[in-house]
Chains A and B, each alone.
Chain A
Amino acid sequence: MKLTLRIWRQKGPDVAGDLETHELPDVSPDMSFLEMLDVLNEQLQNEGKEPVAFDHDCREGICGMCSLVIDGVPHGPMKATTTCQLHMRTFHDGDTITIEPFRAKAFPVIKDLCIDRGAFDRISASGGFVSVNTGGAPDANAVPIGKEDADAAMDAAACIGCGACVAACPNASAMLYVSAKVGHLAHLPQGQPERGRRARSMVETMDAEGFGNCRNYYECEAVCPKEISHHFIGGMNRDFLKANLCGGE
């Protein structure tokens, strides 16, 4: 199929960017979206032009590295699918596709379609863990965990940290990302001792990093490639309030 691409090009964080138009004459429907961009980049380099910078690694929908806004939607039109897992059969011959980076104040553009998501790492470093050192852990079966709890923890833990939730939110809120980590550990006995403290410090870091407030639009859940539920946000809010009211752990 023949496609027209309008792609965001930006030399660096401090320079203005713009959309650039390219034609691709021969795209196979079996290609993945990133393979289509590979073809474009091969074409650009053969013309002596700089390839489009975009982030990717696993190309299996699990590392969370790929991060494109496709026709206005983070990760594009297909539900529960990352950019790298999106295939060109979703599009039609003659389509014009607009490709932009995830946009948020807390995710500055580095170059073209690459953004800096370091803020997510800093939120994790402020509390996204169980404080346990290596060694000396009790036997893994010592504390039984009901299947429902284990499953609920896993539902939250499936987050790949891509940041689509932030890019989709009109307020660029990171609540879904943060609540997924908080919710994962809140469903497990291992997460209880630090439960309140975790919610509080992660939320505080999130605010300090410049993410916006949650106004219950739920755009985040709609674009999440792992379909993390917005219910985790409610759970985190409760943990956060409780921690602030009680002031303790």
Chain B
Amino acid sequence: MSDILVRIDGKEVEASQGMTVLEAAQSAGISIPTLCHHEKLEPFGGCRLCIVEVQVGDWMKRVVSCVYPVEKNLIVRTRSEMIDKIRKMILELQLAHAPDSPELLDLAQEYGADKDRFDKEASFCIHCGLCVRYCDEVKKKNAVGFVDRGIRKEISFIPEIAAKECWNCKECFPLCPTEALQAAFVLTKSLTSPPLSHEPSSEE
């Protein structure tokens, strides 16, 4: 497939068909903030933090770069007053859920987001889906999944699978931008340990 030329923040970038704007930017060393993106996983488009402005001809729109495919003559702006404002708002909303997340706090500083802007609703999880998707797509264990929806959506381990698989893996822990994942796992562990206290580390 022939290369596609796009312009990101004034820089000519060569991309190939099927690449996302985020990938093209990253290949040129241009950084776009992300929370739900992981190179090993399918694009998800959940956190919306990677929002950018794209322009084809006279037509400008805002898209999330981690799912938006490159196209010919695309002009991308990764920062603008509006984009920064949107990112600030997203961060402030997420910080209401996970006020102590170091990753969010770093970003908040960059975008001038006030972590106390909204009333705290400490659910800790920001629904980035990294843990759920990693366990599914990479590890193929599906030990953890989402339950419920909307404001009640949360992650939940399947105790039987977690008891068998998670002790030795825990690869999702460092992916989590908040502490929610670990907390959920500790909870599951405490619930499953009475009957399954023989840690089946040798079984696998």
Verify that A and B bind, or say they do not.
no
